[in-house]
Structure 1
Amino acid sequence: MSRAPGRRVVPGMAIHTVDVNGVEQRYHVYGQGAAIVVAMPGGPGVFWDYLRMPALEEHVRVAYVEALGTGESGRLPAHPDGYTRELYATAIDRIADDLGAGKVFLLGHSYGGFVAQYYAATRPQRLAGVILYDSAPVTGAEQGAEVARQVELFVKRNEGNPEVPAVLQSLQAVGSITDDDQLTLALRGLLPSYLADYWGREAEFKPFREHIRVNYISGRDAGGHAEPIDDRELLAGITVPALVIAGHYDIICGERWAREIHELIPGSRLLILEHSGHLGNVEEPERFQDSVLRFIAAQPR
């Protein structure tokens, strides 16, 4: 699936498309200002719009990536396989070129954080700074054990809540689902575990929960092989300015991993959002966005 690169302007935003190895890459630009933030969402496969940061857009331009294989961006011939970090990094190259930017700030959330730390290590000359938001240095058994520990804490914090069993059921099911619609339902089902206090703020978060969407991306390369991640050595070699952010109650890529990343990257800054889980841009938007803006302002033009 591909179309010629182009852009379509609608009120308050611009939709851009670029070509990545014959596949259409769509991205959305909001805001104004000299600095540009390229925002890479998580999943992989979660639709880009959950990552909106309106207060940030008042001061800088934010280019939200509608990741390859997701939404209205194109799909690879090997879909749902083939979406490697190198492919996503190439897409970020094309987006930065299309924006006419010199150096950009790259913000990656969750799996997008894995992409961002890979990009910062392999293409430092293209970045003014990197923001690793709810990322981790590893995947696999080590991360899985920490997720299990955090899920136990989530259950204890919500002891007696009759909705917890359904959330746990969605958490257990999500790894075996390959259908886009069923995966979206599972993501919505488990969402309370991703937030520090979903039920205390349900009126606020329920519309967000009902809107979030995901496409299935396998996490395997085009040959069907898994892409394991152990970035400890890679992180220690990052030379660009870095801000590391995590929510204290994040069950997926939380405080433990943020502190380790912070210790690995020389001179990095660390922000722990004390009242957030995996979605600090939604749970503590003012503190989240203020910290990002301060980080951007601190870097030389």
Structure 2
Amino acid sequence: MRFRPLPTLFPGSHSFEVGGIAQRYHVHGSGPVCVAHPGGPGINWAYLRTPALEEHLTMVYVEPIGTGASGRLPSHPHGYTRERYSRFLELLINNLGVCRVHLLGHAHGALIAAHHAVHRPERLAGVVLYEGAPATGHGYADGTGHESEQAVAGRTAGPVLAASEAVPCVSSLDEDLTPDTIDDRASLRGLTVPAMVILGRNDVSSGSEWGREVAEVIPGARLLVLKDGGHSAHVDETASFTRAIRDFVQDVPAVRTAGRTVVATGRSAHSPTARRARG
């Protein structure tokens, strides 16, 4: 029997408002729901679109507040902290109307996904931290890899970025201009959501050692190293990237106690709530 998807998950673009701020997202594919948060902050979502994943999963691509057709905070271009992104992410997930989703975050989006998984794990079936880090500073590019993500956008077959959207237009400072300091090394040790870490061995933007450290501190995390991948591993090694995430979604009950590293060589082992998201 085939089930008709919920209206919130019909293919195409959707939006809803929270406290007068629009949150836009884009749905492609079919299967278990995976919400994907792009990097930046301030990068157009389209560079992260992966049609190969859409053959296995219902991909929900977040268009973060402060970018594209999503709304702006009154404090724009400031105030776009991980906590505020996570609040909007929570509302988006609730709005979808499904029990649990998988969450994929890339680069700065991985920092947001990690924060969300630690502080709001209730609706998550699993989390994929793609080119993330346990902290910022000390050699990891905070902000994170704008140039790299723009380059990816130019190499993908997806929508071409408008010139006005190719350049980051938001900061990661809070409304009072204080930095959004990130150090998740302690909190990630208590993560209860099944986790997978993906990194490209040749990533010169984030540095693969940071992804390895993320995997080391998360109990039972699965680590995938894409030996020919860089910061844009979903483009560099699409087949291995797709297979790994597909398998993770299928295997997620076993991932809690199945911490391991896989080096990919072309084959892979193995009703909305109306709370304000501002403030």
TM-score (norm 2): 0.80
Q: Which residue number in structure 1 is paired with residue 198 of structure 2?
A: 245
Q: Which whole-Å deviations, capped at 9, do the CAs of 1:106-131 have from their partners, x for residues lacking one? A: 00000000000000100111110000
Q: Secondary structure of the residue that 2:23 maps to in structure 1? A: strand
Q: Which whole-Å deviations, capped at 9, do the CAs of 1:222-256 have from their partners, x for residues lacking one? A: 11111111110111111110000011111222320
Instruction: Give, in whole Å, the separation in 1 of the partners of 2:197 and 2:92.
Output: 23
Structure 1 segment 40-189 matched on structure 2, within 5 A: 40-143=37-140, 187=147
CA contact (8 A) 2:102 2:126 kept: yes
Structure 1 segment 191-206 matched on structure 2, within 5 A: 191=151, 205=155
Q: Where does structure 1 lack aligned partners over 5 or more consecutive residues?
A: 1-5, 148-173, 176-185, 196-203
Q: Secondary structure of the residue that 1:281 maps to in structure 2? A: helix
Aligned partner (choices 29, 32, 36) of residue 30 of structure 2: 32
Q: Which residue number in structure 1 is paired with residue 14 of structure 2?
A: 16
Instruction: Give, in whole Å, the separation in 2 of the partners of 1:114 and 1:188.
Output: 16
Instruction: Give, in whole Å, the separation in 2 of the partners of 1:51 and 1:190.
Output: 10
Q: How far is 1:7 from its partner?
A: 7.0
Q: Which has the higher helix share?
A: 1
The 1:8–1:274 alpha-carbon spacing in structure 2 relative to 1, beyond 3 Å, is closer
Q: Percent identity?
A: 43
Q: Which residue number in structure 2 is paired with residue 225 of structure 1?
A: 178
The 1:77–1:273 alpha-carbon spacing in structure 2 relative to 1, beyond 3 Å, is same
Letter matched to residue 279 of structure 1: S
CA contact (8 A) 2:9 2:27 kept: no
Q: Which contiguous aligned blocks of 4+ residues in structure 1 show a shift greater than 6 angstroms?
A: 6-9, 206-210
Q: Where does structure 2 lack aligned partners over 5 or more consecutive residues?
A: 1-6, 255-279
Q: How far is 1:262 from its partner?
A: 0.7
Aligned partner (choices 235, 244, 249) of residue 296 of structure 1: 249
Letter matched to residue 147 of structure 2: L
Q: How far is 1:189 from its partner?
A: 11
- State whether structure 2 residue 214 is matched by structure 1 residue 264: no
Instruction: Give, in whole Å, the separation in 1 of the partners of 2:157 and 2:16.
Output: 31
Q: Secondary structure of the residue that 1:232 maps to in structure 2? A: coil
The 1:128–1:98 alpha-carbon spacing in structure 2 relative to 1, beyond 3 Å, is same
Q: Which residue number in structure 2 is paired with residue 201 of structure 1?
A: none
Instruction: Give, in whole Å, the separation in 1 of the partners of 2:9 and 2:69.
Output: 14
Q: How far is 1:272 from its partner?
A: 0.8
Number of residue pairs matched by the alignment: 245
